[in-house]
Structure 1
């Protein structure tokens, strides 16, 4: 007789084709971090159910190259013929499947608890036509929005904001970049209106740069006027124009938070850990057996600072610091230090975008780690990043990153960098350039050359 967690794992792995067990390149979803995300428990919480399934010969384990996970091979898991036979003999009770599609939504993560919040979100949207899910970093805003989207029977389109996003970038994500995006706001609304009213999600709305807040807000207002429903997610406080009817997401109750830790710990220990970490989902995902727990009332940020680097190799730490400066998620096979992605992923330090195509540091981790770096270290990291992206100038998205890091160094020679490629970058990366130059001119208001390029 399989336990609930064992059966859930087996059914999940049963959703992948048999041919995957012989493939050289496999998706992250069948690695330990992918299984952890799908099951909604910490990595260590899977050890016991995985071992039981291996002992029963219902699954197998091997090492393979994980797509987007660096050059090093990692352990991956597959269902066996015996496992499929068990599934056939124990059919799952039929449930109503959602017909929703969530374009550009990040990979699905199991939702723990939050049933009342899901209902509140639905009610807010029905009453107002728009709503904001707000809360602390790492508290589960994105997870809640994803879970809500997968329960809908209508189309749900997803966009995630990064530091360089503008209105065009959001529309491109909602439409999967299938066609050229008009730059006029009214034309953008018409472009999205072709398929009729739908639900549009904007995650991480707090990251919209001041340069683009007005145009993004105008776009959202225009869409609301056409009957589209909109959901925002973001860390509080958000800019005033995104201060919509609010679902304030708190931490999890201890009893629900304890389930994130898996069945390998006894119930009393799980509750003690959940209470000590105040039910904070990200902190619980970082927890490993033996970690010192914070005193009652202590800052979760302090726990994160103490535990996130513990046991990391020097190479992985260097990779983490490089990623702290990312202004947007990036493909893991293009970044510096990508070979060490696997170690960071095993420690739950990373956040993956659509289909695990791009990666960045978890925002809470990034914010905490950045405060630990002095000015000299930050400048060295910007120098290293600028040198790396200089070899990728043929790609506009990477040429912009080169410029982003060069401007942070406040060096001479801006003319030599910009003159050959400015017009090309304005076509493909105009919104990102606007943010970069706006920030640079605020930091260096006396730089006439900088103002010249910003005004072009």
Structure 2
């Protein structure tokens, strides 16, 4: 080692902390065009928990001694302007390594968008108390004012338990977060959506489940998230819920509350610039009540705040007035958004650097939003007319962009500037729901608060049924006018709740009010659903006879001429499936000929139909090697997700010993999104979870719990009941 180098133990604490942070980044970034925000001055100050001006003196000393160097570079996600970034030199790395104490402990794993760790000041006692409770298995609600440091404290506790080998699963909330979104953050892509299945997949000893910013949840999703917490609180994981008071759940059963207050005077002073004189530091810290964010926002160029001045008043009277016009416009655009934004998405991006330099923004990867204290103060400063004008302007801007996210943003701003009309909802809600049904649900709820339009309420009821939310669906159905639509939705609700007898009665009442053509279409749809309402395996003989009788009673003559061939084809496909399932070769051949006559012998669907027939012919529980090879080729060549999924399921059903290529094929489509608005896709999704339980026996309980939930969402109550019985026998 170079003898001229000072050891880290001889460096002042501020310099040591800077080097410890910078050493976490590789040397390859020193010449990179794009560098992480964490290496910029605002990012470095944020991670160290100090104001940016507090970096000047220690950084200058480190650069003079050759431990760091600075340059200008493009910061990822930070706009187009080049900014000052800091890199540790090789000498700096050697200095950090000199006294690095190797740890023999095995570090745990973190899942979800866990924020970067920042240095805490004066929270040692709080950190110890909170971590002790969680390590002992307690569930804790961490509450306090916005900006007081709740998330930072939680992150420090997460780091502590990670260092002890625990698993940490972290999920932050915004207005579009529901239980399924939390599940994806805790578990990753392909996570289940039902609370019981989510908990079954992620709970375990030495596991910390974190829910951050719970106060941001929209009331549309609060009940579902509360159910998730209730399910999880009875397990063997520890839960940490972080919320501004009051929590949207109150104090959940089985939780204790940990209320975080401002910093003590001696610790509050350490957040201010190091060259602040002692008397001024004491006055500022006392005036701002030890509030960490407010202290970091204070500038030495400003007067000492009035003692007793509320933090919100200080932010409004001082911090807001400090901003340029560009900074204010950018802040306003951030503040009216329903969730965080990329800087590249902003229409008024010119002030983003100023906001970042002023410690006004909080970041998660490339996404940014104002600290909630600042956002809330800024929103509260607008008059109703000003708020409406800002949202109206934003709605017009987002209308110029394409895609489901743009429609979600446009819808949010329309809601807050007078409300989207029924025509806009009808044209756009499905595209939003396909990308994110949770955000579509919030948007519909907000639109209903402004308008009692029947079509918007119908859309809200349909979405709740598709999402498997019976209580919410019922509340919307009760608000609909009497008629066929209400009765059919009530029948769907009954099936969702596992009451097929009531569903049939309601459906019969609806059929009586339909036109003959509508009755025929409804009868065909009902037959398809009932055929699919079962687990893989031979079809029950009683169900086969019942379906065959139903197919024979359908009167296709009531359909318009242009729709009869499609209706006939749907019935022939049911006949063919029943015949294969009951090994009725003659009936299968007859149905096959009818389908071929309608589609043509060279149609791809005929190839698939022939393959299904070959797969259904089994010896010793398995289809022939030739049939499996043909299935392999057809699966590999299929580009249609739904058709590929059906082929994989049919092939899985055709063999008791699943070859590796087939297991891999199923894994390749296990996470692919299917459309929740299509009944066929909902049924396919349920079957996919069933097969995941078969192929992944170590996670069978969680997968089958999700399959049961999905079967109910697909109105397949018989399949759900059968799987419940199968699970009970397996346990």
Contact 1:101/1:150 (<8 A) preserved: no
Which residue pairs with 1:335 in the alignment? 346
Any gaps of 5 or more consecutive residues in structure 1?
none
Cα displacement (A) at 1:85: 4.8
Q: For the structure 1 residues 401 and 191, does the alpha-carbon distance in structure 2 shift closer, same or farther, using more than 3 Å as the test?
A: farther
Q: Secondary structure at the match of 2:25?
A: coil
Mapping of 1:44-193 within 5 angstroms? 44-87=53-96, 90-94=98-102, 99-103=107-111, 104-126=113-135, 129-152=138-161, 153=164, 154-176=166-188, 178-179=189-190, 181-193=191-203
Contact 1:69/1:338 (<8 A) preserved: no
Distance 1:98 1:439 in 2: 47
Cα displacement (A) at 1:386: 1.8
Distance 1:190 1:82 in 2: 49
Q: Secondary structure at the match of 2:299?
A: coil
Worse overlay, 432-441 or 420-429 = 420-429
Contact 1:156/1:198 (<8 A) preserved: yes
Q: Secondary structure at the match of 1:54?
A: helix
Contact 2:142/2:241 (<8 A) preserved: yes
Q: Which protein has greater RCO, CA pairs closer than 8 Å, 6+ apart?
A: 1
Alignment pair present for 1:269 and 2:280: yes
Contact 1:105/1:159 (<8 A) preserved: yes
Contact 2:34/2:75 (<8 A) preserved: yes
Alignment pair present for 1:229 and 2:238: yes
Distance 2:105 2:158 in 1: 13
Relative to the length of structure 1, the TM-score reads 0.91
Distance 1:85 1:27 in 2: 23
Which residue pairs with 1:434 in the alignment? 441
Cα displacement (A) at 1:300: 1.4
Q: Secondary structure at the match of 1:251?
A: coil
Distance 1:329 1:115 in 2: 31
Distance 1:96 1:45 in 2: 34
Which residue pairs with 1:453 in the alignment? 459
Q: For the structure 1 residues 85 and 227, does the alpha-carbon distance in structure 2 shift closer, same or farther, using more than 3 Å as the test?
A: closer
Distance 2:375 2:362 in 1: 11
Cα displacement (A) at 1:271: 2.6
Contact 1:258/1:274 (<8 A) preserved: yes
Contact 1:206/1:234 (<8 A) preserved: yes
Worse overlay, 119-128 or 63-72 = 119-128
Cα displacement (A) at 1:446: 4.3
Cα displacement (A) at 1:135: 0.4
Q: For the structure 1 residues 126 and 22, does the alpha-carbon distance in structure 2 shift closer, same or farther, using more than 3 Å as the test?
A: closer
Which residue pairs with 2:42 in the alignment? 33
Distance 1:426 1:343 in 2: 36
Q: Deviations over 1:150-179 (max 9, x none)?
A: 111211010011012111111111123x21
Q: Secondary structure at the match of 2:399?
A: helix
Worse overlay, 246-255 or 304-313 = 304-313
Mapping of 1:408-427 within 5 angstroms? 408-410=416-418, 413-415=421-423, 417-427=424-434
Cα displacement (A) at 1:447: 4.1
User: What is the number of equivalent residue pairs in this alignment?
Assistant: 447
Structure (1 or 2) with the greater helix fraction:
2
Cα displacement (A) at 1:76: 0.7
Cα displacement (A) at 1:197: 6.7
Cα displacement (A) at 1:93: 4.2
Structure showing greater Rg? 2
Cα displacement (A) at 1:216: 0.8
Q: Deviations over 1:33-69 (max 9, x none)?
A: 1111222211111111112122223222111110111
Distance 2:127 2:141 in 1: 12
Alignment pair present for 1:366 and 2:378: no
Distance 1:11 1:231 in 2: 28
Contact 1:45/1:261 (<8 A) preserved: yes
Q: Secondary structure at the match of 1:400?
A: helix
Cα displacement (A) at 1:339: 4.4
Contact 1:101/1:156 (<8 A) preserved: yes
Cα displacement (A) at 1:107: 2.0
* Aligned equivalent of 1:397, options 400, 405, 420: 405
Q: For the structure 1 residues 127 and 426, does the alpha-carbon distance in structure 2 shift closer, same or farther, using more than 3 Å as the test?
A: same
Cα displacement (A) at 1:87: 4.0
Alignment pair present for 1:348 and 2:359: yes
Cα displacement (A) at 1:126: 4.7
Q: Deviations over 1:351-388 (max 9, x none)?
A: 112xx221111000000011111223222221232233
Relative to the length of structure 2, the TM-score reads 0.58
Contact 1:197/1:226 (<8 A) preserved: no
Cα displacement (A) at 1:139: 0.4
Distance 1:197 1:96 in 2: 18
Q: For the structure 1 residues 138 and 91, does the alpha-carbon distance in structure 2 shift closer, same or farther, using more than 3 Å as the test?
A: same
Q: Secondary structure at the match of 1:245?
A: strand
Contact 1:139/1:249 (<8 A) preserved: yes
Contact 2:414/2:420 (<8 A) preserved: no
Distance 2:192 2:427 in 1: 25
Q: Deviations over 1:10-50 (max 9, x none)?
A: 23223322221211101011111111122221111111111
Contact 2:179/2:224 (<8 A) preserved: yes
Q: Secondary structure at the match of 1:402?
A: helix
